[in-house]
């Protein structure tokens, strides 16, 4: 998978004058095919950066943004999210670490850390957690959806964890009062 300018896709064919890619992500924020084939003149290699998602390292880091209202048990939410995520990405972490170590023979790489982690910060009306994990770029959407669904289902069972912001919770309460 490569990105040249705004064009993202899997390389189908490279000829003398052009490269054909199967387009990904044009009208949706996903890593799935749109069904269109883009023909790029090979001059792009001279005048544009090329982002290669899979050449030397077949993984990317993805993040799930989780926003909790103040007063939520963020420590419990963190533990739940990690307990759900770790079994899903454990094998990916292992393979990604091996690939990074092999890349270290070719490039200067200062870290081999691919461990799933959560970074927490304080927002204006929420506690923000960013769940960061490695994933195959072609499976990013599916893994993200699986993890998000499982995390939300687990949070729904907890009375002391509320997803959202104070503003969004207030808006929901106001709309239910009007009904």
Average pLDDT, the chain: 88
One domain for residues 96 and 136 = yes
Q: Is the pLDDT of residue 172 over 60?
A: no
What is the value of pTM for the model shown? 0.78
Average pLDDT over residues 36-63: 88
One domain for residues 74 and 146 = yes
Q: What does the alpha-carbon distance between residue 39 and residue 51 come to, in Å, rounded to a whole number?
A: 17
**pLDDT tens-digit profile of 144-166?**
999 999 999 999 999 999 999 77
One domain for residues 8 and 84 = no
Check if the beta carbon of residue 99 is closer than 8 Å to that of residue 27: no
The SS3 assignment for 57 reads: coil
- ∠ at Cα 63 (61, 66), nearest 5°? 165
The SS3 assignment for 15 reads: coil
Check if the beta carbon of residue 33 is closer than 8 Å to that of residue 23: yes
One domain for residues 106 and 153 = yes
One domain for residues 80 and 12 = no
For residue 64, what pLDDT is reported?
97
One domain for residues 67 and 37 = no
Structural tokens at position 133: 């994990």
Check if the beta carbon of residue 65 is closer than 8 Å to that of residue 128: yes
The SS3 assignment for 11 reads: strand
One domain for residues 161 and 130 = yes
Structural tokens at position 172: 């929901």
Nearest residue to 2 via CA among 63, 45, 46: 45
- Which domain does 30 fall in, by range? 2-52
For residue 48, what pLDDT is reported?
87
One domain for residues 131 and 43 = no
One domain for residues 79 and 143 = yes
One domain for residues 172 and 104 = yes
- Residue ending a domain, among 34, 52, 70, is 52
For residue 82, what pLDDT is reported?
98
Q: Facing residues of 133 across strands?
A: 62
Check if the beta carbon of residue 78 is closer than 8 Å to that of residue 120: yes
One domain for residues 39 and 115 = no
- Domains: count for the chain: 2
CATH of the domain at 78: 3.30.70.100
Residue with tokens 């690939």: 99
Check if the beta carbon of residue 66 is closer than 8 Å to that of residue 123: no
One domain for residues 172 and 120 = yes
């Amino acid at each position: 998978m490569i990105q040249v300018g705004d064009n993202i896709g899997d390389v189908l064919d490279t000829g003398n004058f052009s490269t054909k890619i199967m387009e990904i992500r044009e009208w949706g924020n996903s890593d799935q095919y749109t069904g269109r084939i883009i023909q790029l003149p090979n001059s792009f290699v001279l005048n544009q950066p090329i982002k290669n998602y899979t050449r030397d390292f077949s993984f990317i880091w993805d993040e799930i943004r989780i926003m909790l209202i103040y007063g939520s048990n963020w420590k419990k939410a963190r533990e739940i999210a990690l307990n759900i995520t770790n079994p899903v990405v454990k094998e990916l972490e292992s393979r990604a670490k091996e690939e990074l170590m092999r890349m270290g023979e070719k490039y200067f790489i200062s870290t081999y850390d691919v461990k799933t982690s959560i970074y927490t910060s304080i927002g204006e009306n929420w506690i923000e957690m960013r769940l960061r994990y490695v994933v195959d770029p072609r499976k990013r959407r599916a893994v993200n959806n699986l993890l998000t669904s499982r995390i939300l289902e687990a949070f729904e069972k907890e009375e002391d964890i509320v997803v959202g912001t104070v503003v969004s919770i207030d808006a929901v309460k106001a709309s239910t009062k009007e009904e």
